[in-house]
Structures are given as structure tokens and as C-alpha cells.
Structure 1
Amino acid sequence: MQNWKRLLMLTAAAVIGLAVVLLASGIALTNFIVDFWWHDELEYGGYFWLKVLYRYILSGSVTLFFFFIFFLNFWAASRYLGIDETAFARLGQTEGTRYRRLLKLFQTGSMRVYTPLSLILAILIAIPFYQQWDAALLFLFAPSAGIADPVFGHDVSFYMFSYPIFRLIQRELLVTSVIATLAIAFLYWLEHRLLPGEKREWPLGARIHLSGLVVITSLVIAWGFILDRFGLLYTDVHEPQFFGPGFIELRYHLPLIWLAILSLLGAAAAALIYAHRGKGLTALVTLVLVLGASLGLRKIDFIPGLIDRFVVKPNPVRVEQEFMQNNINATLAAYELNDIKIIDVMPGLPDQDILDQAFREHLYNIPVWDPEYLDDVYQQMQGIRPYYHFPSVDIARYMINGRLEQVNLSAREVNIAKLPPEAQNWENTHLRYTHGYGAVITPAAQDGETPMAWFLRDLTLQSSVGFSIEKPDIYFGEENLPYAVVPNRLSVVGISSFDEESSYNYTGSGGVPISSLFRRLLLAIYLRDQNLFFSVNIRGDSRALFRRNIVDRVKHLTPFLSLDNDPYAVVTPKRIYWIIDAYTTSDLYPVSKTSTNRFNRDREDKRFNYIRNSVKVIVDAFDGKVDYYVANPNDPIIQGYQKAYPGVFKDMRTMPPMLREQLRYPKDMFTTQMSIYARYHQTDPALFFQQAETWDFARVGDSVMKPFYFTTYLLEGLREPENFVLINPMTPIGRSNLSVLAVAGTPAARGGRPEFIKEIVLYRFSREVQVDGPSQVSALIDQDPEIARQFALWDQKGSHVLRGRIIVLPVGHSVLYIQPVYIVSTGTTRIPELQRIILSMGNVVIMDPSLETGIEKLQARLKQLAPQAPSEPATPQPVPPEPPSRLPEIRPM
């Protein structure tokens, strides 16, 4: 009875175990198949198979390599047993038979044990290669960068692509060789002790085998020491003075590493001579002591401390000058800051006619509406239906009435969470409310106390300037959209679409076809939703649209790209598209300063010391199609991926012109570059060490001013006058006066220009003359009695005054500041209203509802003050690299 119970329990356990294995295998296979379908509908089926091929060929080859290392060593060990065949003759028949069986077990039968053991060990050793297979692609495919590191003279591509793989290989080879050496040594000892003849010398083959393993282990350790030299290039012990190796690392630690390498190899050779010939013990002990000393001295801080105290600190610039220069040069190259154009400006009093009629004729591009406040306006005035939502406000520029005009726009997306809870059922979520509709566009410049002007509005897509969209439905966007099944059998009424009842008539090519019960079953398992399988409203031509968030979509396709935090919509006559700036990064550029940033949808900050905006990603809001265009063909990282995945990354010249015209300089890139350049513009090591001219991002109160987009006309600076730029004011660190106006430009890609051009120009103000910064201008506004009275009048119960961002525009030798003023209700419904625009120049502050009349009043006030204005200081001006020039006027186009 007990046996039957035990048999039943074992059978049940086996069945349950088998079921679990089959279920896990089925889910894994389902995920694999559905993922292939998803790639295939995006026309990336070949790319999918390449990823699978690379992953399993690389990982499988590594596993096979380590398997053969272990297997061949075990096989060789079984050939060289410590056996004395003559000893069997002196044994009795019974004991001799037992020893012969034991010998047979070690020599032949052991392979049944060694084979699975070798496979298990190989898999465990190869796990890191499974996890880093994508890094191996760059090792295999990425080209040379053509830039040598300043310390060892290797191409920087060695450090970014080869060095991490070499470190991984060395580490795993070391583990392998140690395991193999210990296992084989133990095996020989055990076999020699158990079998007759244990007192005889080991066979020559066994001694050669063990000696070879010792030599290999020593060489692998020595290789690790060689790689440790390159690790010195990433030390941060000298921060905040500079990054990378200094005098102590290259004059103290580096020689000790070489000493460790030589003493290790010498000790290994002496150990082999002593083991085989019994000679050289003194040399062995000496070399081991030297090795221990070289390793120990690197761990002891006493001697480096003495060097730092008596050599480095008394003469920091002289001693560390070369190493600081290495850090400066490498950082500027790694962050693409070598080609910044600097224009030195001697500021003066405002010219009386600087705000002339020509300037006033181009006021239509000044972005007086803050996107964060405009978002509330869009939600309240253009949401229209409860299930529509505007996730963000974007900035763009379009040809309107024959001129390039800056606009604000936002895509109207669907958001099921806005529906009443009782309406958030499965059919509404996945079959009915499947898409957003259209966009809204408003001019960047508006006047206060006037109704909001619209270029594109309402669900009728009404436009007074010719905007139209053939297919305005938005199935893919910035919202966290659930999966949708379209077309379907539901009768959809009242949901806007270019097709009436769009969920019924969806004509796009996006989504995975649900053309059979098998596909429906696998998709239901994949999406963890049984309703997908049992619903009667799914048709034979239905398609499952999932991964509809554009960032998730791109990250799943190309996880090796980091994405900008601000995707933006582009309205074309055909449909709406999304553009996402994608970055290639590395944290292994030698001697370059490290930065951190949390890119879009990342769970934690990413560390890097090399960055390029190498790819522009286009996502079709209707079909979900994703296209990658190379914006920086000189980047070795993207060149490596182009070779590994042919056909995925396209030439920028093939991008449709209407999309190419909307490309821009990304904010994340510019902010990162300016945070680095704030200090690294001091290219002289003495100034770099002093940090006397270090900049900081301008602040207003406790808030850091963010760069803002502006469509401008530059008379001097950027390559072409027509530009869509980011403007970022910077101040001296710890001070509020303006030091620099950084401008990152992208010339409008019109007239058939195929390339994407980007450049940075810095308008650097002389340190001899005070130029008010944004926080100082904000204080002047606070102190103006007339403005303070008006704010107090508006800021009554029921309403609240909001002051928008400060816009900084260089005009002539002065700086014009513009700040919008809004009134917003203190109730639950917020519709900010633009009331006034504040303008300030030369300590003069004007507030007016209109930019036009405000400019006229400001000019009149400046003319009144001109006779009383003090003359410019007569102190001699410092000689700049180029003759001081008049500050280029930044005029709105």
C-alpha cells in the first residue's frame, strides 16, 4: 500500500513538473512568436532574426569554447593517471580486480561525468556573455574613431568597444583557468593516492599538463594587469579639479603595474623550474616578494600621500598641467564641443534706434506663451470630449502666409482614464476608444487682453492658414495607450475620424493580424487577456495594435539607443508624425568627464562620458511605422550598428523633406553639453584649475532657467541667417550677472538641403562691464511700483497672477528681456489668460498688453534716458581672440 502511495506521489510530482516545464516553454515560445510577428509587421523581420542569430551564435560559441576547455582538460587528465601497472601483479586477484575497475572508471567511465560537468561549468562561465552580447557587436563591427587617447596613444574605439570585452574575457578566462587548474590538480592527486604506485613520481604528461595550466593562469593574470593600466584613465580621485589620471597614477601606480607584470611572469617561470628541477627557490621567493610588494604598495596610501603632499600640492598647476590638458581635450571631443564658435561682445548702452521698425516687424516669433501654461489652455478649450487629452505642448515652425513662423502645437490623444469609471470596460478600452484625433496649433506670439488666436482647432480641423491633415487619427502617441483591436464589429458612433466609425473601418497597416484562432490564442496569452480570445466582436481582418506608446515602441526595437525626454509632433498634409531624438552613449571614452542623465522611460540615471545625437526616429501616428535616420554619420557607435544591422538605419537624405524641415537641436543634448562646457571652456590648465571663469545656468529665484526654442534671424554667428535655435543664458558661478548667451542652431532644411546641420555659438560678454542677468531683471520688475500695484489689483480673491518664463534676446550691444504675465482662476478649472507682456532693457521696465506697443514705449523711454546715460568706461579693453564685434541681432523670422 505504501509503495502504491509513493508511486502515485512520484507520478503526480512528475506530471506537475512536466506541466510546469511545458507551460513555461509554451509562454516563452509564445513571446518569441508574437515578438516576431510584431517586428515583421513593422518590416523589421530580418532585423529580428539578426538579433536572434547574433545573440545565440555569440553566446553559443562562447559556451562551446568554455565547454571544450573543461572537457579537453578532463579528458587529458584521464590519460595521465599516476598508475604503476607492475603493482597489479603483486596484488591478489580480488584486490587487483577492484583496482582495475577503479582505473577503468577514471580512464573511460569518467567521461560520462566529465561531459555534463564541463557543460554546466561552461554555461555558468558564459552567463555574462549572454547578458552583454550586444556589446560584442560593437567589438566586432564598430570602426576606428580616428582619435588617439592622450596617455597610451590607442584609438578611442579600443576603449569604447574592445576594452570592455577584453575585461570580460580576461575575467572569465581567469575563473576558468583557476577552476581547471584546481580541479585537475585535485584529480591527479586523488587518482595517485587511490591507485597502486602512489609513492612513485607522477607521469611526465601529468606534470606537463599541470605546468601548462599554471602558465596559462599566470598569463591570464598578467593580461589582467595590462588591462589595469587602461583602467587608470577612468579614475575620479582628482575630482573636482579634473577627471582622469594625474601625476601619482602615471608616475607611481603605472610603474608598479609594470613591475607586477614582470615579477608575476618571472615567478611563474621560477615556480616551474623549481617544480621540475628542484632549483631556483631563492629566485622564486624573491620574485614572489617583489610581486607582493608591487601589489601592496598600490593599496597603501602612505607613499602616494607623501608624493601628493610634497610634490603635487605645492605646485598643482605645474605638476598636473599635462594631465589637466588631457582631460580638457578628451572631454571637449567626447561631448562634441570642439567646434563651438565664440563671439566676444563688448556690451554698451542700448542704441536709441536699436528697436527699430525692422525689429518690430518680426515680433510674431517671440514665444510669449509658456508651454506649461498653454497646456492648461489646450485641455480646457480644445479637449472637447472627456476621453481626449493633450500630453504635451511642442514648438515648431511652418511656412505660413509666405513667412517662417514659430508655433505651438499639441496632438489630441485618447486617454481612457478620463472616462467615468463605469465606462472603462474592456470593449471601450480595447475596441471603441482606440485613437486620438488631430492637433491644435497656435502662433507663438500673442497679445494680452485678446482672445487666443488659432491656426488649427476643433474636431473639424478648422484652419485659417491652410493647415489640413488627410488622416488625422492618432493610434500611436505619448500616452500610455492599451492595446487596441481594429477593425472590429462594434458600431462606433460619435468618435471623430477621417473614416466614419474608424474602429470599424481602420485602413492602416499597423498591428499584428488576427487572422486565425491560433493567432488569437497566442495574442491572448501574450497580452494576458482572455477576452481577446472569446470576444465575438473581433473580425477575421482585425489587427492587434500594441506597444502604442512611441517611446516604448522605439526602446523595444532598439534598446541600445537612449531617447530624448521631449518627443515632438509634426503635422503634415498626409498625417501626423512623431520625431524622437536618439542618442548613442558610452561611459568608456578615455579621460573624459562623466555625466549623468535620466533618458526617456529609463528607471535610473545613466552614466556616460561620450554622447552623440546620432539618430532621428520618425514614428507614424496612424500606422505606428518606425524609421531611423542617421543624423551623425561620423559616430563610430552608430556606424557599428549600421554594419551589424544593414537596412535598419537610413541615410538622412532619404527622409521626407517636410519632416526634415522640422528637425531641431534636442534639449537634453544641449543641456548636457552646456553643463560640461560651463567649466571646460577654460582650455588653459591654469584657468581650468582656478575655476575663476566657470559658468552656471541662469536662475530666477530657486528655479533654473531652461533653454527655449526660438526661430531667429542672425546677422552674425551661425552658418546661415535662418535658424531654429535653443537659447540658454549663463551666469558666472555664484553670481547673477549675464556672462554668456549660448545658442544652439539648426538651419531650416529648406531649398532641397538634405543634410542635418547643427552648431553652437556663444555670445560672450566682456567681464569688464555689468550685464544684468535674468534674476536681476526679475528683481527690477518686482521693484517697479506701477507693476507692483497692478499685480496687487489682479491678485485678488478668485484669481492669481502667474509670471511666465523670462525670454532673453540679444539686440545690438544690449539684451532685451521679455516676460509674459498671466491671470488664472484659483478654482478647480484653470484657463490661464495672457494679460500683459513685460519688456526690460538697460534698467528700463515696461509692461503693456501688446508686444508692438510695448516695444514703442520701451524705445521712447530709452530715448528719454539717453542724455543722462553715463559714458562708456574708458578702461582699456582686453584683446579677444578676434576683434570685438557688435552683438548680432537675433531677430524673429
Structure 2
Amino acid sequence: MRNLKLLPALIGVTLGIAVVLYVAFYFIFLDLFVDLWWYESLKLEAYFWLRLLYKFFLAGGVTLAFFAIFFFHFWIASRYLGLNPPDEILSNLDKRRRFQRFADTFLSGSATVYTPVSLILAVFIAIPFYSQWETTLLYFFGSDSGITEPVYGKDVSFYMLSYPTYMLIQQEMLTTSALIFCMVGALYWLEHVFIPNQSSEFPLGAKVHLTVLIGLVVAFVIWGFMLDRFTLLYTDTHEPIFYGPGFVELRYHLPLIWLEIITFAATAITAGLFIFSEKHRVKEPFLISLTLFLCVAGLPKIQFIPDLIQKYIVNPNPVKSNKSFMKYNIDATLDAYDLKNIKTVDTTIQLDATKDIETWSTQKHFENIPVWDREFIIDNYKQLQEIRPYYRILSVDEDRYFILDHTRQVNLAAREINVSKLPPEAQNWENMHLRYTHGYGAVVTPAAQDADSPLVWYLRDLNMYSDVGFKVEHPDIYYGLEHFDYAIVPNKLDIVGIAGSNAPNTETAYHGEGGIPIPSLFRKALFAAYFNDEKIFFSTNISSESKVKIRRNITERISRLTPFLHLDKDPYLVITKDRFYWIQDAYTLSNKYPVSKPADDDFLEGHQDFNYIRNSVKVVVDAFDGDVDFYISNPSDSIIQAYSSAYPGLFKNLEEMPAELRQHLRYPRDLQYLQMKVYAKYHQQSPELFYEQAETWQFANVRGETVRPYYQTMDFGNCNDKEEFVLINPMTPVNRGNLSMIGVAGTLDKTNCGPDYKPGITVYKFGKDVQVNGPAQVEALINQDPEISAQFTLWGQSGSVVEMGRMIILPMGNTVLYVQPIYLASTKNKIPELTRVIVSIGNQVVMDKTLWSAFNRLKQIYVKNAAQSDGKETPKAIINRQEKTKETK
């Protein structure tokens, strides 16, 4: 009978243990196993264990430290409870039992009580460290950057690497010490409640203990005041004029913080003397100190005092009073956004462009002008080169390749797998995971092409046809931009004709190294549980040679490996003789760079606010095998130095990148957009000019849209006719249409003219004596041209839509060249066709079918004008002179 009574309890315990084990396995150990195998497949298992070790060491170490702190103080308190009532008090049986229970609970049984209480409190206090363990990691591995901020004289790496951890520790230690003081104080007080006739004075040990605790609370409060000084570096009260502390903050608020520290320390000392010392128990010092502290602490909340300072001292002399503080903001912002080394070239624009046209009159200068925008040509790629319903071209990239004895700029795109377009009956498990597993090949076209002619292809079709030498041994794309599901390859299916009947290796099983092996039924069972898909376990088409490919979207893949890196929105494809690769630019960010203006929210959507950025890492992903390599492209960045020290072996030097890939590195488009957006205001480095904002720029605007940076391959005369792959970014004055500057960002080593990656920005700044047309003004000239306007009208009447592409603006000696591609799109198939190219210099506009012929016509106009003005005025000049004479009279 007794065994029968225990049976339900035994069953309940067994079921409970089973549920706990199932949950632990399914939600913890299964993920852990798969993650470990995945890291092993990438040859990064050492990094996996190191990262796991850091996480649990820091989390466990912090929890253990707080547990020890709580338990130690509770144990000390139990020793100084002073449980020594007189014997006559204990003569009463009821009082004796009550005392015994109290003594057993708080003295003899202290470990039983204090251990769980200390553990619960330690976990509660340590929770913020669990989520911020990587921030704490930077504190241990950080080093000085060599750049000192001018307000407090500290290295800027202190703010980015140490300051966040100090703030976290201060808050948690203050909370801990306050909790312990309250709980231990309550414990000592309970003694007087449960034990009668106790002395009104605490035992000496208890007094010492409480004094130490209140001293710790005071110390952490003072530390908090000390850290509050640094919050002044991030004030935005002076926006939009400048960011950071000004006269009021550093001449009024900062002294108040020091007064708060002094008066609070005085209050704590006098309070301690009053409470714990009978000889010095005098109220006046404590009351005076407390009154002073409350007054000083209340002053920051009285707004009229800083308002008076602002009104009568700062506002009458804004530049003089805040000059040094504006300079702090300018210097810090330029450094935080890596704008200190921008090269400025003052360019004088000449109205007579004849000489520059003669210099540029070679075919070479027109072989790389990108008249095909990627926003337009992607429709051609999709319509003409996706070919099969299960292939998809997601985006078009720009790059340069050595083709036909010359460096040529190209547009290119990968043909990735997308099974969502298959017929519904074909979207079954076997097709999606065993058969349609990867994309195939890529398409390449020259960026510069003739108008009104068939599209020229450098690489096309599923047979990877190329007449310019493109040849890829492994054109399969298992990893890319698509949000792929998992794939299992190789398998026992005889897959024929998916890539194309004429394509090489279409019947050859996958023979790469990527993926997680499935050599046993045990792993098949685990993967079936992991994906919640029993077909993996029961499928007979999966062999012991099969491998599971997971996390095949390259953004997800990199983010899973290095969540502390922030990824650029535009990874791009690189073609090599062996296979395809993806190159992803990665950034390190911080929101704690002192006195630097925070970035706007139109960069890296979904990421944290930041006021410091470096393109510190280039990530290379093998599209065939899935291998991921991280290369440090900016070793001066203190954040990436800390991560590199923390994870040895994860990051490689850029020199270790294969030369075939290194020659395709580029300046990130979104990074230059962000930098130029900041530089548009902060190029005014004089505080006086910065305050006036008379030279502030904005992005050039046309048809109501911002002209974004675009890639261009051309020779700027920096390295012996060597062409550069650069980003062009035109800017205009605020609320004006004329051009102020052209920003050019490239990676060429202009000093040694070698293959080294040396990113930098050059700004071609135009003077104010001659107006330089902006894109909107050039477009107005185009629309005003009767011949062009009539042609546009004619095309529109024939059922086509006229589209004006991105205007290309290039510095050309002492003048500026404008190239405007014109597309026609049929209302039926919507495949755009490059139909004309417009070229403009100065106020002259010419439209033709090729860049070369349009430029030659423009050249003839300028040569003719130059001949007419040789020794005499042109008719136009005579008319202008006569008009001015009439106005004068």
C-alpha cells in the first residue's frame, strides 16, 4: 500500500524531469550542437569556444562576485547580531523558544538562509551584465588610440571602450551597496524587536559594519558624480549651431558638479560622526553640510540662472564665448567620421573649355563613363538573363575588371535560386532542399555603351558565354543575397538540366567543402529535430556524404558570426577564375566619441545611434563553399584592435587577402554619403565661419531627388595614367542650384601608385567667381534645347516613356563635364533601352547616340567659338556688350 501511495509522486517527478530534460535539450543543447558543428565547418571552432567562454566567464564571474559580496556581508552581520540577552529574560519558556528560533535562523542557520537570498540578489543585480558582456569585453582588451580630447584630457578610447563599463559598474555597485546597507540595517534592527531588553546601542562590530557600508554608498555616489562630468560632452542644447558643451556647461554646470561632490562628502562625514560617535555628536556641522548639498544639488534644476548666463554673457558674444567649444566640436566630429585627412583641391573653372576638350579628346576617357544606371539595367537583367523561373537577379553591382587590355567599369549581378516562382505542385520538400539548392552563374555588361544599339554582354546565359575571357570553374552560388532555406548536398538524386543543358558540370554532384556533414543517423535525427522536419531523418536520398548548408544569406551568416560588426547595406559580387565571392564592408560604431555630433538616422537602418564610425573590416564570403574571412582594413581603429586582441586568429591583415580579391576593394557608397553629409557643414573649420554657416553645402538635387554617390572609373592624373575606381559626389550650396564641389572617394595609393588599399577623399572645390552649373540647372538647359525637347515629345507620342537616368558629373581639368543618359521604356515589356546620350560643358548641350560622337560635336562648337573669338568678339559677346552699354546709359 505504501508503495502504491508513492507511485503518483514518482510518476510526477519522472515526468517533471523528462520535461526539464526535453526543454533543456531542445532549446539549449540542440542549438549548441548545431552551432558548434557550423563553426567547425567554417574552421572557427576555436573562436566559438572562446566566445562562449567569454560570455559565461563574464556572466558567471559577475554573478559569483555579487553573490560573494552579498553572502559575505550577511555572514558578517550574523556574527555581530549581539545575541546575548540576560539569563532572567530567558527564564520564560515562550521567550526562550522565540529567541532560539531567531538565533537558529539568523546565526546558526545563516548559510541556509543567506545562500539562496544572496544568489537571487546576485542574479538580479547581474542581469545588465548578461546583455552587455561584449561591451565589458572591450574594457579588458582596449588600448589607447593616441587621440586626446581637449575638455578633460583623456584618450578618446576611454570613452568608447571603458566609460560604458564604468557607468554600468557604478550603477550596479551603488544599487548593491544600498541594498546591503538596508538589509543588514534591518537585520540588526530585528534583533531589538525579537529579543527584549537589548541595549539601545548596537555592538561595536555592527557599528563598524554599518559605517563601512554607508561609506561604500557614499563612495559610489561620489563616483557617480565624477562620471556625470563626462555626460556634459554629449549635450545637444546648442544644436543646431554646434554639438557638445559650451560656455554654460563648462563654466557653470561643471563647477556645480564639483561642489556637489564636496558638499555630499562633507554631509556623509558629518552624518557618520553624528550617528556613530558620542564625543562628536553635534548637529550643526551635519545640518550645514546637508543644507549646502541640497542647495547645490537643486541649482541645476533652477533654469533661470543658466538662462541669465546665456542671455547676458553668451548671446551678446556668441562666437567669442563659445569659440573654443565650437572648435572642440569641429575637430572631434571630423576625427570621429574619419574626415581629418580630406584633400581639398581648389579648382578654377574657365568659361572657355577649348583647352580641356583638346586634352580629353581621346577615346580612353569615354570607355568607362557609366551611362547604364544599375537602377535601369536590372530590368534588362531580369527580363533577359533570369531565363528560368527558379532563378532571380536581386541587385546589380558596379566594379572594374581588366578586359581587352584595359581596365573597364562593368555592371554585374549574380543569378541566385528562388523556388517561390516554381509551380505550387513543384514546391515540395525534395525540390526545395535537395534539388533546387543553388543559383548558377552571373551576368556582366560594360557600364559604357553606345545608345540605340543592342546591349553588349561580357558574360551571359546559363552556359556562361563570354567573348572577353570571363571563365569561372565553379559558377554555383550556394550563398548569396537571397533568404535561402537549408540545402542538403550532395545527395542521391540524379539532377539533370536544372542549370542548363549546355552548362558545364550540371550532372556533377557538389564537391565543395562547405556545409555540416551528416555521417550518422544520430546527426540526421538531431537535424530533423532542429528543423522540425522528420523528412530529413527518413529520406533515403540523403547519404553519409551529404552536408547540410545553413545560414546561407551572407548578411545573416556574417551577423551570426560577428554580431558586434555593423554591415553595409550593399555587399557586392566579385568574379574570379575559380568561383564567385561576396565582399561585405563592415563598420565599427560607437555613440560615445566625446563632443562628436551624432549621425542622422538615414544610415544603417535599425542600428544604434552613433557618432563614430570606421570601415574597419572587409568580409569575404565564398559563394560556393560559404567560407567567411575577416580582414582588418583600418588597423588604427581602437575598437577593432580590442576585438582582434579578444579573438586572436579571427581577423587577418588585409595583406593576407588574395590579390585577385584585393584589387576589387572599393570605397563604400553609404559611408561616403554619410561622411559628405557631415562634411557639408563641418568643412567650415574656423569657428567664425562655422557659426555663420555661409558656406554650408547640401547634396545636389534634381527632379526632387538627391543625387547619391555613384561609381566612376577614370584617370585623375594621380598615378601615371592609372585609372581609379572612385565614388563621385556633387554638392551645391544650401538652397541653391549651382555646384560648390565634387567629392571623390577612392582607394588608390596615390603615394606609391601600388596595389595597397589606401582609402581617401579628395574634394574639388569651386571658386565663387564663376558659376558652375548643378545637375538641376543642366537639366533645365536640356529641356530648353528645342531640338532635344522636340525629340522627347516625338518619342512620347509613339507609346514610349522617356526616362532620364542619373546625371554623371566629372571634373575635367578646369571645367566640368555632364553626361545625361536617356532611356526609352516600352509601355508593354518595360525593358528600358539606352536611346541617346546628352553631353554638356558650360552652357552648351549636345545629344547623340554615342558619347564619343556627342563629345566631338561639342568639341566642334567650342573650336568654332574659339576661332570666331580669335582677335575679335563673338556675336554673342557683342550683343552682351551692347546690352550692358544700354543699361549703363
Using structure 1 for the length normalisation, give the TM-score: 0.94
Letter in 2 for 1:439: A
Out of 20-29 and 511-520, give the one that drifted further: 20-29
Residues in 2 aligned to 1:38 and 1:598: alpha-carbon distance in whole angstroms:
34
Cα distance change on mapping 1:520 and 1:811 into 2, 3 Å: same
Matched residue, 1:24: 23
The reply to whether residue 513 of structure 1 matches residue 530 of structure 2 is: no
Letter in 1 for 2:100: R
Give the 5 Å matches for 1:626-637.
626-637=628-639
Letter in 2 for 1:796: Q
Q: Write out per-residue CA displacement over residues 438-495 of structure 1, whole angstroms, 9 at most, x where no aligned residue.
A: 1111111101111111111111111111110011111001111111000112221212
The reply to whether residue 563 of structure 1 matches residue 567 of structure 2 is: yes
Residue 18 of structure 1: CA displacement? 3.9
Q: Aligned to 1:540, what secondary structure does the other structure show?
A: coil
Matched residue, 1:377: 380
Contact 1:185-1:210 at 8 Å conserved across structures: yes
Residues in 2 aligned to 1:691 and 1:9: alpha-carbon distance in whole angstroms:
81
Residues in 1 aligned to 2:537 and 2:761: alpha-carbon distance in whole angstroms:
55
Q: Aligned to 1:795, what secondary structure does the other structure show?
A: helix
Q: Write out per-residue CA displacement over residues 609-632 of structure 1, whole angstroms, 9 at most, x where no aligned residue.
A: 111111111110000000011111
Matched residue, 2:684: 682
Residue 298 of structure 1: CA displacement? 1.1
Residues in 2 aligned to 1:120 and 1:499: alpha-carbon distance in whole angstroms:
64
Contact 1:823-1:833 at 8 Å conserved across structures: yes
Cα distance change on mapping 1:89 and 1:851 into 2, 3 Å: closer
The reply to whether residue 299 of structure 1 matches residue 316 of structure 2 is: no
Matched residue, 1:333: 335
Residues in 2 aligned to 1:854 and 1:142: alpha-carbon distance in whole angstroms:
57
Contact 2:368-2:408 at 8 Å conserved across structures: yes
Residues in 2 aligned to 1:535 and 1:599: alpha-carbon distance in whole angstroms:
46
Q: Aligned to 1:181, what secondary structure does the other structure show?
A: helix
Structure 2, gaps ≥5 residues long: 882-889
Q: Aligned to 1:541, what secondary structure does the other structure show?
A: coil
Contact 2:748-2:755 at 8 Å conserved across structures: no
Matched residue, 1:115: 115
Residues in 1 aligned to 2:566 and 2:722: alpha-carbon distance in whole angstroms:
31
Residue 359 of structure 1: CA displacement? 3.6
Give the 5 Å matches for 1:250-265.
250-265=250-265
Cα distance change on mapping 1:853 and 1:5 into 2, 3 Å: farther
Computed over aligned residues only, the root mean square deviation of the Cα atoms, in angstroms, reads 2.3
Q: Aligned to 1:408, what secondary structure does the other structure show?
A: strand
Give the 5 Å matches for 1:122-161.
122-161=122-161
Q: Aligned to 1:481, what secondary structure does the other structure show?
A: coil
The reply to whether residue 421 of structure 1 matches residue 424 of structure 2 is: yes
Residues in 2 aligned to 1:441 and 1:90: alpha-carbon distance in whole angstroms:
97
Q: Aligned to 2:77, what secondary structure does the other structure show?
A: helix
Residues in 2 aligned to 1:301 and 1:633: alpha-carbon distance in whole angstroms:
45
Residues in 1 aligned to 2:80 and 2:877: alpha-carbon distance in whole angstroms:
99
The reply to whether residue 538 of structure 1 matches residue 542 of structure 2 is: yes
Give the 5 Å matches for 1:154-173.
154-173=154-173
Residue 355 of structure 1: CA displacement? 2.3
Contact 1:82-1:197 at 8 Å conserved across structures: no
Residues in 1 aligned to 2:141 and 2:148: alpha-carbon distance in whole angstroms:
19
Q: Aligned to 1:646, what secondary structure does the other structure show?
A: coil
Letter in 1 for 2:91: L
Residues in 1 aligned to 2:108 and 2:382: alpha-carbon distance in whole angstroms:
79
The reply to whether residue 407 of structure 1 matches residue 410 of structure 2 is: yes
Letter in 2 for 1:703: E
Residues in 2 aligned to 1:354 and 1:322: alpha-carbon distance in whole angstroms:
44
The reply to whether residue 449 of structure 1 matches residue 452 of structure 2 is: yes
The reply to whether residue 615 of structure 1 matches residue 617 of structure 2 is: yes
Letter in 2 for 1:802: E
Residues in 2 aligned to 1:358 and 1:808: alpha-carbon distance in whole angstroms:
15
Matched residue, 1:889: none
Q: Aligned to 2:678, what secondary structure does the other structure show?
A: helix
Residue 336 of structure 1: CA displacement? 0.9
Residues in 1 aligned to 2:730 and 2:562: alpha-carbon distance in whole angstroms:
35
Q: Aligned to 2:356, what secondary structure does the other structure show?
A: coil
Cα distance change on mapping 1:683 and 1:102 into 2, 3 Å: same
Q: Write out per-residue CA displacement over residues 11-37 of structure 1, whole angstroms, 9 at most, x where no aligned residue.
A: 776566544422220121100110011
Q: Aligned to 1:257, what secondary structure does the other structure show?
A: helix
Q: Aligned to 1:714, what secondary structure does the other structure show?
A: coil
Contact 1:82-1:195 at 8 Å conserved across structures: no
Q: Aligned to 2:644, what secondary structure does the other structure show?
A: helix
Structure 1, gaps ≥5 residues long: 875-893
Match of residue 496, structure 1, among 496, 499, 510: 499
Residues in 2 aligned to 1:692 and 1:591: alpha-carbon distance in whole angstroms:
23
Letter in 1 for 2:479: F
Letter in 1 for 2:582: W
Residues in 2 aligned to 1:569 and 1:309: alpha-carbon distance in whole angstroms:
58
Contact 2:356-2:814 at 8 Å conserved across structures: no
Out of 108-117 and 190-199, give the one that drifted further: 190-199
Contact 2:89-2:95 at 8 Å conserved across structures: no
Matched residue, 1:572: 576
Residues in 2 aligned to 1:243 and 1:222: alpha-carbon distance in whole angstroms:
27
Q: Write out per-residue CA displacement over residues 841-868 of structure 1, whole angstroms, 9 at most, x where no aligned residue.
A: 1111111111111111111122334433
Residues in 1 aligned to 2:805 and 2:510: alpha-carbon distance in whole angstroms:
42
Contact 1:697-1:731 at 8 Å conserved across structures: yes
Q: Aligned to 2:797, what secondary structure does the other structure show?
A: coil
Matched residue, 1:656: 658
Matched residue, 1:710: 712
Q: Write out per-residue CA displacement over residues 202-255 of structure 1, whole angstroms, 9 at most, x where no aligned residue.
A: 111011111110000010010000000011101111110101111111111101
Contact 2:451-2:834 at 8 Å conserved across structures: yes
Cα distance change on mapping 1:607 and 1:347 into 2, 3 Å: same
- Number of matched residues? 867
Give the 5 Å matches for 1:671-820.
671-715=673-717, 721-747=722-748, 753=754, 755-796=756-797, 798-820=799-821
Match of residue 438, structure 1, among 423, 441, 465: 441
Residues in 2 aligned to 1:206 and 1:441: alpha-carbon distance in whole angstroms:
81
Residue 303 of structure 1: CA displacement? 0.7
Cα distance change on mapping 1:16 and 1:90 into 2, 3 Å: closer
Residue 150 of structure 1: CA displacement? 1.1
Residue 599 of structure 1: CA displacement? 6.1
Residues in 2 aligned to 1:622 and 1:794: alpha-carbon distance in whole angstroms:
46
Cα distance change on mapping 1:446 and 1:313 into 2, 3 Å: same
Cα distance change on mapping 1:123 and 1:499 into 2, 3 Å: farther
The reply to whether residue 49 of structure 1 matches residue 43 of structure 2 is: no
Q: Write out per-residue CA displacement over residues 731-777 of structure 1, whole angstroms, 9 at most, x where no aligned residue.
A: 00111100000000112899994631111111100022211101111
Residues in 1 aligned to 2:317 and 2:552: alpha-carbon distance in whole angstroms:
59
Residue 257 of structure 1: CA displacement? 0.5
Matched residue, 1:227: 227
Matched residue, 1:240: 240
Residue 500 of structure 1: CA displacement? 3.6
Contact 1:367-1:710 at 8 Å conserved across structures: yes
Letter in 2 for 1:467: F
Residue 93 of structure 1: CA displacement? 4.6
Letter in 2 for 1:550: I
Residues in 1 aligned to 2:339 and 2:147: alpha-carbon distance in whole angstroms:
15
Contact 1:846-1:857 at 8 Å conserved across structures: yes
Q: Aligned to 2:354, what secondary structure does the other structure show?
A: coil
Cα distance change on mapping 1:293 and 1:724 into 2, 3 Å: same
Contact 1:71-1:118 at 8 Å conserved across structures: yes
Cα distance change on mapping 1:487 and 1:752 into 2, 3 Å: farther
Residues in 1 aligned to 2:737 and 2:378: alpha-carbon distance in whole angstroms:
30
Contact 2:518-2:547 at 8 Å conserved across structures: yes
Letter in 2 for 1:24: V
Contact 2:552-2:626 at 8 Å conserved across structures: yes
Residues in 1 aligned to 2:753 and 2:472: alpha-carbon distance in whole angstroms:
23
Matched residue, 1:177: 177
Letter in 1 for 2:589: T
The reply to whether residue 582 of structure 1 matches residue 583 of structure 2 is: no
Contact 1:369-1:820 at 8 Å conserved across structures: yes
Contact 1:390-1:413 at 8 Å conserved across structures: yes
Residue 91 of structure 1: CA displacement? 2.4
Cα distance change on mapping 1:7 and 1:319 into 2, 3 Å: farther
Cα distance change on mapping 1:383 and 1:109 into 2, 3 Å: same
Residues in 1 aligned to 2:394 and 2:416: alpha-carbon distance in whole angstroms:
7
